[in-house]
Amino acid sequence: MPQRNALVEFKDAYLGYGSRVVVKGLNLTVGEGLTVLLGPNGSGKTTIMKAIFGSARVIKGWLRVNGSVTYAPAEVDGLINLTVLETVKTARRGYGWVSDEDAMDALMSVGIVGISNMRLSELSTGQKRLTMIARAIASNADLMLIDEPTANLDPGNRYRMIKVIRELANKHAVMVATHDVDIALTANQVVMIRDGNVIGVGEPGRVLTEERLTQLYGIVVKLIKHNDEVHVVFPVS
């Protein structure tokens, strides 16, 4: 039975490329708030997002997408000669394009107004990532798919990015693929995926256990509580 307000529903979906199955038997409903895909390299996180915006195949089962979708990729390639402002303005906003004002607001929300006239080719990896997230914000889409938002960010920008994502998720549906367990701890829904199979889905307090994280990454993972906040540690010895 389809859920009300569901933006995305996968039902027993097998996802992949050509005839190659990458994600197997996925059952997932994405609504408002923050959904985090957590899993090792190559586990199928990006493939789930690509299926939603139509660049990976639903080989079996079904997928329903209800609303506008934007995608902030982990890597930028084709846009490299544009300035930051021009890049943000390549986003669609509803049936139109993004205005200068919307673009500047989006740049402000991720703290990069100061580099709006620089070309992407002149930016650091972290600055490029912030630009692509500003582009997603400017689109004001119903569902924002964001791939690895905190990779390559310094601790200050990483902290600000987690706050930006949390704030976005108060107004939109946001799906994030990440290796950053701290983002998963702030999610409304976490999907733990290993080798294309979901091994846990639900609220972080319920699914993010030391046992499951250890199973997910194949190393010992500990959760510690400090001032009522849970933190993840990967003990070296």
Strand partners, 147: 177
CB of 43 to ligand ATP, least distance (A): 4
Among positions 20, 96, 236, 237, the unique one binding ligand ATP when judged by CB under 6 A: 20
CB of 44 to ligand ATP, least distance (A): 5
CB of 19 to ligand ATP, least distance (A): 10
Q: Which is nearer to ligand ATP, 15 or 136 (CB)?
A: 15
Q: Which is nearer to ligand ATP, 43 or 131 (CB)?
A: 43
Which among 17-25, 108-116, 122-130, 220-228 is the span making contact with ligand ATP, rule CB under 6 A? 17-25
Contacts of 48 (CB under 8 A, 6+ apart): 10, 15, 23, 26, 28, 37, 56, 177, 191, 193
Q: Which is nearer to ligand ATP, 22 or 184 (CB)?
A: 22
Query: Quick one: three-class SS letters along the chain?
Result: CCCCCCCEEEEEEEEEECCEEEEEEEEEEECCEEEEEECCCCCCHHHHHHHHHCCCEEEEEEEEECCCEEEECCCCCCCCCCEHHHHHCCCEECCEECCHHHHHHHHHHCCCHHHCCCEHHHCCHHHHHHHHHHHHHHHCCCEEEEECCCCCCCHHHHHHHHHHHHHHHHHCEEEEEECCHHHHHCCCEEEEEECCEEEEEECHHHHCCHHHHHHHHCCCCEEEEECCEEEEECCCC
Residues between 169 and 228 that touch ligand ATP (CB under 6 A): 177
Q: Which is nearer to ligand ATP, 47 or 116 (CB)?
A: 47
What token pair was written down for 120? Answer: 């992407």
Q: Which is nearer to ligand ATP, 19 or 237 (CB)?
A: 19
Binding mask 36-65 for ligand ATP (x = CB under 6 A): ---x-xxxxxxx------------------
Q: Which is nearer to ligand ATP, 42 or 54 (CB)?
A: 42
CB of 183 to ligand ATP, least distance (A): 14
**Considering the rule CB under 6 A, would residue 22 count as an interface residue with ligand ATP?**
yes
First to last CA, the chain: 48
CB of 79 to ligand ATP, least distance (A): 20
Residues between 139 and 178 that touch ligand ATP (CB under 6 A): 177
CB of 7 to ligand ATP, least distance (A): 20
Binding site for ligand ATP (CB under 6 A): 17, 20, 22, 39, 41-47, 177
